[in-house]
Amino acid sequence: MTPLPTVGQAVIDAARYDAVVFDLDGVVTDTASVHSRAWRRLFDEFLTGRAATAGEDHTAFTDEDYLRYVDGRSRYDGVRTFLAARGIEVDETTVRDLGDRKDHYFLASLEQDGAQAFPGTLALIAQLAGAGLSYAVISASRNCADVLAAAGLPDVFDVRVDGVAARELGLAGKPDPAVFLVAAHRLGVMPSRTVVVEDALAGVEAGRAGGFGLVIGVDRDDHAAELSAHGADLVVADLSEVSVVPEYEPAR
């Protein structure tokens, strides 16, 4: 097995890459935990209120469930994927009702607590700007603009491809690479010369499937080995561990 990188080994070389596409929740903003709490509340209410049925697993929603079945997916896909894993079949109206209730829980938490950007991510964006690389943000959420505004980052990114754009364009959700490919296209760069930064298993799968030049996994939940197994070339605990090498070193 290839060893995971240590601090200082994660490098974005501006001679090899033209742009970086960041996932939002858990990479740019500390909102993955807000999503996780909203999902837990939703599914625990649903599972405890559902009558016992042969073949269905009604045990409590776990952190592992969040990482495997929900993280990085649109809310309706998250509902479908998790319930299928538990052997639970529901109609599409129920899927949408559950997804919308989760969204309500998330927005209530966002309004109450706001959103914070990770300092290491902001420092990396500053390095990218200094080296002349462009950068985009993607999200499966339709609340991406609200989260960026709450974090004080409404105009930081050159391109944003979120759940609103995905719906308008009919894009498939992760692990399909469609949102990343649209982001690269709008930046005017080739996927092979673009870096993807993700914290979700479905997200690193999407980066690998899209033929992106480098996929960096951000491990904030102690699942580095899974990120590597699902397609991350490098795994870091925080983006403060990533450095940017300019294409041309300044003369001395």
Which residue carries 């649903």 as its tokens?
46
How far CA 57 is from CA of 52, 64, 90, 173, in Å, comes to 9, 15, 14, 25
Catalytic residues: 23, 25
Which residue carries 């903003």 as its tokens?
29
The answer to whether the beta carbons of residues 163 and 142 sit under 8 Å apart is: yes
User: What's the CA gap between 191 and 184, in Å, rounded?
Assistant: 6
H-type alpha helices, 29-176: 32-49, 63-65, 75-85, 92-113, 119-131, 144-150, 163-169
The answer to whether the beta carbons of residues 241 and 10 sit under 8 Å apart is: yes
Long-range contacts of 106-114 (CB under 8 A, 24+ apart): 106/34, 106/35, 106/38, 106/143, 107/143, 107/146, 109/34, 109/37, 109/38, 110/31, 110/34, 110/143, 110/146, 110/147, 110/150, 113/34, 114/150, 114/151
